[in-house]
Amino acid sequence: MSKLTIATRSQTLLLRHLQVFFYSLGQLSRHPLSLFMTAAVIGIALALPTGLHVLLQNAQQISGRWDGSAQISLFLKKSVTDRQARNLARQLRQRDEIARVSYISREQALKEFQQQSGFGDALKALKKNPLPSVLIIQPTLAHSKPEQTALLLGQLRRDIRVDVAQLDMQWLKRLYAIMDIIRRGVLVLAGLLALAVLLVVGNTIRLAIQNRRNEIVVMKLIGGTDAFIRRPFLYTGFWYGFFGAILAFIMVYTALLLLNGPVEKLAMLYHNRFELSRLDLGTALVLLVSGVMLGLVGSWLAVGRHLRDIEPG
């Protein structure tokens, strides 16, 4: 053996790896149903966290849009007349950093409040309209970073016609906090399901080892190293993980396709256009790599544990 060059040896080793790689696939394809069932279990376990991750990405995208559309509400002093208020609105519209200004007069505000709050009768009892007129200001996209809106807010507060200027951001912060919790939850779920995949692969490989006990004994008798005997089982684990990831991809893809219609409808109700983003290449790649790695690690653990138990003699 020592006469063989390193090149020949590594060439032979590569050939053997390729052979075992496809041999293990061939073995699996002889029982397509059991391959499918194992791969489907792995697929579902992988699809759950992947799907949640994609939905979370979408939620982030939407809230990202809201982030850019922080609104400033200007509650004007009651002494400000309707004309003065309209003047102020016109002035503000001319500023570069402001995209839109909508004016809600005191009367309009009262009418809306009466209609929507259910306190209509109580308000009628009041002699005077208690509501101020309001200007709702939408900064342009280019000027909607937090520090810029804060600067604008400061300037607006100094105007003598303005009673209270309010930047409505608190709910967005709460939303982010909730999303952080969900993200952490998805991570925990992914960890648990990864463990489940390890167990599924490990158990499947354990059964495969038991079925091929005789073969393992023969291999050991004629000088097969542990690495040699392990190899087909590792590649079997690889294929389980691989097919599991492919099935997970199909499941998530289909689920997003099914969700897209209703989501678009909902977005329309909010006078918005929104299309659910698909599984991106990076996520798909991570899915594939984690599937394959879990398959390999699962079978490695099973083989390591059970190979030693099988000894000829």
Give me the least distance between CB of 292 and another protein, in Å please: 26
Query: Three-state SS for 30?
Result: coil
- Smallest separation (angstroms) from another protein to the CB of 223: 4
Which of 1, 125, 269, 281: binder of another protein (CB under 8 A)? Answer: 1
Among 53, 106, 206, 220, binds another protein (CB under 8 A): 220
- The strand order across the sheet containing 162-167 reads 98-104, 134-139, 72-76, 162-167
Piece of the chain touching another protein by CB under 8 A; list 81-89, 222-230, 251-259, 296-304: 222-230
Task: Provide the residue count of the chain.
Answer: 313
Q: Taking a C-beta distance cutoff of 8 angstroms, is the pair 282, 249 a contact?
A: no
Q: How far is CA 147 from CA 65, 143, 150, in A?
A: 17, 9, 5
Q: What share of the chain is helix, strand, coil (3-state, %, to 5)?
A: 75, 10, 20
Q: Who's near 2: CB < 8 A, 6+ residues apart?
A: none
Contact call for residue 11 and another protein (CB under 8 A) = yes
Q: Is 311 in the site for another protein (CB under 8 A)?
A: yes
Binding segment toward another protein, per CB under 8 A, in 76-84, 105-113, 223-231, 261-269: 223-231
Rg of the chain taking only CA atoms, in angstroms: 32
Tell me if 223 contacts another protein by CB under 8 A: yes
Choose between 106 and 220: whose C-beta lies nearer to another protein.
220
CB of 34 to another protein, least distance (A): 17
Q: How far is the CB of 306 from another protein (least distance, A)?
A: 16
| Closest approach of another protein to the CB of residue 28, in Å | 14
217 binds another protein (CB under 8 A): yes
Dmax over CA atoms of the chain, in Å, equals 109
Distance between CA atoms of residues 116 and 253, nearest Å: 41
Residues 117-156 that bind another protein (CB under 8 A): none
Please report how close the Cβ of residue 231 comes to another protein at its closest, in angstroms. 11
Say what the alpha-carbon torsion angle 18, 34, 302, 11 is, to the nearest 10 degrees: 0
Return all residues near 148 (Cβ < 8 A) that are at least 6 apart.
Answer: 97, 139
Phi, psi of 31 (to 5 degrees): -125, 70
How far is it, in rounded angstroms, from Cα 161 to Cα 182? Answer: 43
Choosing from 13, 182, 188, 195, the residue that interacts with another protein (CB under 8 A) is: 13
Least Å distance between CB 205 and another protein?
18
Cβ contact 236:208 at 8 Å: yes
Query: Mask 55-94, x = binds another protein (CB under 8 A)?
Result: ----------------------------------------
Candidates 28, 135, 219, 234; binder of another protein (CB under 8 A) is 219
Number of residues that bind another protein (CB under 8 A): 25
23 binds another protein (CB under 8 A): no
- Interface ranges with another protein (CB under 8 A): 1, 4, 8-9, 11-13, 15-16, 214-215, 217-226, 228, 311-313
